[in-house]
Amino acid sequence: MNWEQLLSLKRYGDTHKRLRKEQDETRLGFEVDYDRIIFSSAFRSLQDKTQVVPLSKTDFVHTRLTHSLEVSVVGRSLGRSVGKKLLEKYPHLKEVHGFQFNDFGAIVAAAALAHDIGNPPFGHSGEKAIGEYFKIKNGTQFQSQLTPKEYQDLCDFEGNANGFKILTENRKGVNGSLRLSYATLGAFMKYPKQSLPKKPTKHIADKKYGIFQSEKNAFTDVANELGLKTYGEGNDLRYARHPLTFLVEAADDICYTIIDFEDGINLGLIQEEYALEYLINLVRDNIQTEKYNSLQYREDRLSYLRALSINTLINDAARIFLENEEAIRNGNFLVSILDKSKYKAQIDDIIKISVEKIYQSKEVIEKEITGYHVLQHLLDTFITATTNYHNDSLSNYDKLILKVLPETVDYSTDHLYKRLMNITNFVSRLSDSKAVFLFNKLTAKTL
């Protein structure tokens, strides 16, 4: 893989190339990607989607939106830091093609901003709730009518694949959805493979999947434009990651490691003295002890340690990327950036505490149970109505249910997989509160 291709400014849906030297420096294409994402309705819905604690009513717990903004900021810093060194290593990128170090930051920032855009309500438990509807609930009835990969898409519903769908899906009058640059779309794709085969290797890019069958052709187009390395063969073709994807992932890992931990402290799930000691262990080489001891309030102490921790991990992640750049670019780097961090032991300690005290807390578990009930009921209600529509057995109730669906949801298609995916995508786009509101309206209950 070569950087000239990997930094493609061509927009999804374009029929021609876009050259870096012809770009308007006041409105660079990669920065337009950022703008288009942040003004999209799918991104705005993240303000009411779970990051850690579902349906939290506190004012200091992160949502998917605040998390995504923070990941984007960290990603921009990582991209710029790496970009500066890459232009020194490959001067022709600047001298011949006109790329600047800020371009790398802009690509990573845009991809990081969108990294959770496909996540359903109620966090990762929402993905499991959707998947289990098709795996063990009423959705099992469709297995014999779908291809193995189509059925697997639904049984292992994946927010990353849903995100790529949202960013690229055609609608009447809107070709290519947000029409982002190929570079940003490539950097967005953490798992450039289909749902089957599952985990064919121990490579980090094969851990999950990122391509629904409905977007297979779209991603093949993106991968070919970017020159991504291919693995497998025939219908099981999969791809190496875009190198900048490793920086998007690192930015996400840095933020959820440090900031989810901070949320746990603010929620009272982790004792302050106990928690701050873990952060101090992470930044022990960089902390200014006198400054830290002068901070009187918990908020200021936590803010100082958070900023120092994030900066420490940004510098370490950039170092790891640059030391392994050729292996990454050749598709031979098998793990995430932070797996090679010299602070891995401290990171693992923090994550272990977060799992025990936050992710498995009673409040989180109770809200996740609510999410299962809500999402599976919504899926069953809408899928039953659309199935009855195609079987010419609509009840009056079904007719009313179909009127609830937005006109953008095509349930009239005879293609079963597309129909099921359209309903599933609609449910996945709901915010936490909207999902509960719709559930209450359909059941005349209050959760």
DSSP string over 220-283: HHHHHHHT--EES-GGG-EEPPPTTHHHHHHHHHHHHHHHHHHHHHHTTSS-HHHHHHHHHHHS
At residue 186, the pLDDT reads 98
Tokens representing residue 282 in the block: 């992470």
Q: Which amino acid is at 8?
A: S
Calpha distance 18→116 (Å, rounded): 27
| Options 1.10.3550.10, 1.10.10.60, 3.40.140.10, 3.40.950.10; CATH of 121-156+361-447 | 1.10.3550.10
Q: What are the residues facing 444 on neighbouring strands? A: none
Residues listed for the chain: 447
Q: What are the residues facing 230 on neighbouring strands? A: 239
At residue 60, the pLDDT reads 59
At residue 92, the pLDDT reads 96
- Residue 194, classed as helix, strand or coil, is strand
> Can you say how many angstroms the Cα of residue 101 is from the centroid of all Cα atoms in its chain?
24
Q: What string of pLDDT tens digits covers the 447 residues of the chain? A: 999 999 999 999 887 888 888 888 888 889 999 999 999 999 999 998 877 665 555 555 678 999 999 999 999 999 999 999 999 999 999 999 999 999 999 999 999 999 999 999 988 889 999 999 999 999 999 999 999 999 999 999 999 999 999 999 987 767 778 899 999 999 999 999 999 999 999 999 999 999 999 999 999 999 999 999 999 888 888 999 999 999 999 999 999 999 889 888 888 888 888 888 999 999 998 899 899 989 988 889 889 999 999 999 999 999 999 999 999 999 999 999 999 999 999 999 999 999 888 888 887 888 889 899 999 999 999 999 999 999 999 999 999 999 999 998 999 999 999 999 999 999 999 999 999 999 999 998 765
At residue 17, the pLDDT reads 86
pTM strictly above 0.75:
yes
At residue 137, the pLDDT reads 96
At residue 234, the pLDDT reads 82
Question: How far is CA 296 from each of CA 251, 254, 301, 411, rounded to the nearest angstrom?
Answer: 30, 26, 8, 59
Please name the CATH architecture into which domain 245-359 falls: Orthogonal Bundle (1.10)
Domain coordinates of the chain in residue numbers? 121-156+361-447, 245-359
312's CB contacts (< 8 A; 6+ apart) are: 282, 283, 285, 286, 343
At residue 447, the pLDDT reads 57
Q: Which amino acid is at 91?
A: P
At residue 267, the pLDDT reads 81
- Residue 2, classed as helix, strand or coil, is coil
